[in-house]
Each structure stands twice: as structure tokens, then as C-alpha cells.
Amino acid sequence: MTTVRIPAGWPATEEQALAVQDELRERVVLDEPGPPPGTGRVTGVDVAYDDERDVVVAAAVVLDAATNAVVAEATAVGRVSFPYVPGLLAFREIPTVMAALDALPCAPGLVVCDGYGLAHPRRFGLASHLGVLTGLPTIGVAKNPFTFSYEEPGARRGSASSLLAGTDEVGRALRTQDGIKPVFVSVGHRVDLDNACAHTLALTPKYRLPESTRRADALCREALRQATA
């Protein structure tokens, strides 16, 4: 497990973090399709906290995109790097997530975050933030629609509806299993929305949530248990 220090110059106040978001948001790439689903590697990342001990743990799990078999995994532990502020959660997680990605023995390929990309009040959630800083193609697959509206998609797997901020589509509600609550997919960086949804379906052959982030969540929780034992 890699140990992480808070980077020098990391934002310490809400005002500083908002300024960084404004700067980095301009670098998001939205005109690339991204890697074809079912090819190369896909990496899930997830984070767990122990706020009482000021500990954050991140896990990265690399899958073969064709089979969803695990290729590699890594974890990192550090201090919580920013106070809890809605809309600025990436600043609590990014240093440790990047350390976990850096500790992988292979290139991660597409990165799938348990969270949001463009489906964010400031259009710059964790998936977009991580994509800009690493240059990797990223998507967000969230468990709930945050503050956005949507019509219920059809009951069959693969059905989708627009996730809307007013009239703007910021993502999609995607049914990954028949009759099960949808997940909420948004573009992070260097992937289009159609491909983001196709990747999500490829990663959910049995369960509601992608294999990438399901496995990262399990690894993360075990790593947190060990770090705080």
C-alpha cells in the first residue's frame, strides 16, 4: 500500500478549490469517442474514509475489458486532503486516487469512477477532475442522480433516458439489469456519452454496478480496515 502526503500547494479553502475547478474545467476534452468498449483495459477506482482518524484510502482495480478478469490492483492511504464541502469532494480524494493509479504495474486504460463527471453542479466532478490531471479517458457511474432530473428509463437492460440540468443533457440514467434501479452515467474526459454507456453495460453482465468499481470498493474497504486496525 502506497502512503500519500497532501501535495504542496493543494487548495485549503473553498475559494481556492473553486478557482482550481474553474481553471481545470476549461481543459476537459469532450470531442473524443474514447476507447472501444470491450477492448484494452478498464480500471475502477473508489475511496473510503475514516474521518475520526483523518484517513482516506483509495483502490484501483484493472480489468481486462473483454473478460472483466482482474489484471492488477493497487491501494494508497493518506490524510483527508480537504474538508467536506458539497460539490468539492474531488479535493478530498484526488491525491490518494492518483497515488493508487501510479502504483499500478500497468497502464490503466479507461478509468471508471464511482461518482460524476459532467453531471455535477459546476460540470466538473471527480471523473472530469481525474481525467484532466492524468490525461486518461474517464467516466463517472453514480448510484443516484445527484441534483438532476430524468424520466424513468424502460425496464429492460440497456434502456436509457437523459439526465438533465434544465434542458441540458449532462448524463444518462442507464438500466444495467432488467427491472433494477438505473445507474447514472456521465462523461469525465476524452470519452463520449454513447461510449460511456456502452462501457458501463459491458462492465455490468450480472450486477447493477460495474465490475470495475464493485471490485475497487471491496478492495478499498479491506485496505481501510487494515490501515485503521
What confidence score (pLDDT) does residue 61 get? 98
Cα-to-chain-centroid distance, residue 4: 19
Q: In percent, how much of the chain has pLDDT > 90? A: 89
Given phi > 0 = left and psi -120 to 50 = alpha, else beta, which region is 109? left
Q: Please report how many Cα atoms fall inside a 13 Å half-sphere around the Cα of residue 19, on the Cβ side.
A: 7
φ and ψ at residue 98, rounded to 5 degrees? -65, -35
What confidence score (pLDDT) does residue 167 get? 95
pLDDT higher than 80, residue 2: no
What confidence score (pLDDT) does residue 46 get? 96
Query: Can you say whether the dihedral through the CA atoms of 80, 27, 30, 161 is positive or negative?
Result: positive
Q: State how beta strands 160-165 and 168-174 pair.
A: antiparallel
Q: Which three cell numbers stand for residue 95?
A: 491525491
Averaged confidence pLDDT in the chain: 95
3-state secondary structure of 36: coil
What confidence score (pLDDT) does residue 205 get? 96
What confidence score (pLDDT) does residue 5 get? 87
C-beta separation of 213 from 171 below 8 A: no
Q: Cα angle at 125 between 107 and 201, to 5 degrees?
A: 60
pLDDT higher than 80, residue 26: yes
Position 3 confidence tier, pLDDT thresholds 50, 70, 90:
confident
Q: pTM for this structure?
A: 0.95
Q: What is the mean predicted confidence (pLDDT) over 75-88? A: 92
